[in-house]
Amino acid sequence: MSEHAAQLNAALRLSAHVRRCCAALADGETESPFWSPVNWCGRFDADARWWVHLVLTEEAREDCATLRVELPAGLERKQCVGQLATLLEAVAPRLREVLATPPGSSVECTVDGAFEPTRYAGRFAALPGVFEPLRDPLPGLSLFLHGSLADYTATAFSDVDDFVILRAEAWRDAETLRRVGTALARVARGYQEIDPFQHHGHWLVTEFDLLHYDESIMPLTVLDGARCVAGESRITVRRNKDTDGFRQNVAATLRTVRRRLALITKEGGMNAFRLKGLAGEIALLPAYVLQSRGEMLSKPEAIRRSGELFSAAALPALEWATRVRAEFAPLVECARVDRLRRLARFCARRGQAETIFKRWAPWVASGHPLGPKARVVEAVRQFADESESLAKPSPA
C-alpha cells in the first residue's frame, strides 16, 4: 500500500472515530461504571461535564502517527470533553488536507424550510419545547429536522429524525464543546418524550465527513423537504460515490431482523418497542437495496418500487410493516406507556429512558391483530433473504 493510500485510510478511520465520539457526546451516552459518582451525577444531569467516553483509543493514536499528527503531552489526563476538543483541534489540519485529495463531486445543498412551531399538535405539540436548548445560537452547530415531522405527515408510529452537523467552531475549546454537547444531549432526551419508542438519538456528522461524504451515513435525499432548526442552512459536500456502506447497512439491518425473528419464534411475540423496530427495518430495506445499487431514492420512493424488486412471497412482509405503521396508535397511546413515561421522568439521558420503554413496552402476541403471525414471519424471512441477494455487488 502506498503512503498516500495508508494516510487516506488512517484519515477515514480517524474521522469516523471522532464522529462516533461526537455522536456519543450529543446523545449523552456515557461509559462511566455503575458504581462511579460520575455515573450517578450523569443520571440526573445531562451536562456534558459528566460525559465519560474512550476518546484516545489505541487505533486513534496509531492513525495520528500515520498522519504525522503530534498529540499534545498530557492529553490523557484531561476530562473526556477536553480530550475530544483537543484531539479535534490537533487532527483538523491533516484531516482537511488528506480527505480533500480523493476525487469526489461537490454538491451544495440549501435547506430552505423553516421550523414552524405552531404546526404541531397532539403529542407532537411538545416538539418546539424539545428544541429550547438550541434557542440561543451555538457555534458550529446545524440541526435539520427531516421525515414525517418535517413534512407534517406524522402518525402515531413517527419518531424524530434529524441530521446534525458539527463544524470547527463547536470544538474551539473544551467549554464550547461542553455547551454544544450538553444542549444536544438535552434535545436528544426530549426526543424520547415525543416518541417513547424512539430507538436512536441524533444522526450526526462532522465537517471532516463532508469532505469525503459517504451517503450510507445519511443520504442527502433526506434534506429534500427538511426544516432548519438551528445554525447554517447551507451545506457543501464532496460526495464519495462508493456504495459499499449501503451494503453494510443492509447486512447490519438483516442481522437485527433475523435476531428479532428468532425471538418471535422463541417467545410467541414481541413487545411494542421491538415490533416498531422490526416494522421500521423492513420499511428501510428497499431503500438500502436500491442505494447499494447506486439509486439514491428516499424511503417512500423505494417502497413504491418494491414490486420491481421482491417476489410475491416476500411482499406481504412489507404490507404487514405498512399496516403496523398505520395502526400503531393503540400500542403507544395507552395507560401502560403513560405509566412508563412517568417513570422515565427520572432519567436525564435519552438512553436511560429508552431502556425503560424497551424493557416494559406493551406485549404484542402473535395472535394480536398486528402480531407477527407465522405467515408474516415466513414472509419476513423471504424478504430478508431477497434483500441480501439483491444487495450483493454484480460480478465484474
Contact criterion met (CB below 8 Å) for 260 and 277: yes
- From first to last of its 396 residues, the chain has per-residue pLDDT tens of 788 889 999 999 999 999 999 999 999 998 877 778 877 777 778 888 889 999 999 999 999 999 999 999 999 999 999 999 999 999 999 999 999 887 778 889 999 999 999 999 999 999 999 999 999 989 999 999 999 999 999 999 999 999 999 999 999 999 999 999 999 999 999 999 999 999 999 999 999 999 999 999 999 999 999 999 999 999 999 988 888 999 999 999 999 999 999 999 999 999 999 999 999 999 999 999 999 998 988 899 999 999 999 999 999 999 999 999 999 999 999 999 999 999 999 899 999 999 999 999 999 999 999 999 999 999 999 999 999 999 988 765
Question: What span, in angstroms and rounded, lies between the C-alpha atoms of 52 and 181?
Answer: 12
389: left (phi over 0), alpha (psi -120 to 50) or beta: alpha
Instruction: Give every CB contact of residue 189 below 8 A, 6+ residues apart in sequence.
Output: 28, 46, 347, 348, 349, 350, 353
One-letter amino acid for residue 221 of the chain: T
Cα distance between residue 24 and residue 12, in whole Å? 18
d(CA 224, CA 220) in angstroms, rounded, equals 8
* C-alpha cell at position 17: 472515530
pLDDT score recorded for residue 269: 95
pLDDT of the residue at 396: 55
Quote the cell numbers at residue 322. 405498512
Provide the 3-class DSSP secondary structure of residue 148.
helix
Cα torsion 330, 335, 340, 342: sign? positive
Rounded Cα gap, residues 290 and 64, in angstroms: 36
What dihedral angle (degrees, nearest 10) is formed by the CA atoms of 194, 133, 37, 57?
90
> Residue 290 corresponds to which amino acid?
L
Rounded Cα distance, 282 and 274, in Å: 12
**What is the grid cell recorded at 63?**
492513525
C-alpha cell read off for 105: 463531486
The pTM score is: 0.94
Confidence at residue 3, expressed as pLDDT on a 0 to 100 scale? 84
The number of beta carbons lying within 10 Å of the beta carbon of residue 6 is: 13
Where along the chain do its domains lie?
3-240, 244-390
Identify the DSSP state of 369: T
User: What was the pLDDT predicted at 256?
Assistant: 97
The predicted-structure confidence for 31-63, as pLDDT tens digits, reads as follows: 877 778 877 777 778 888 889 999 999 999 999
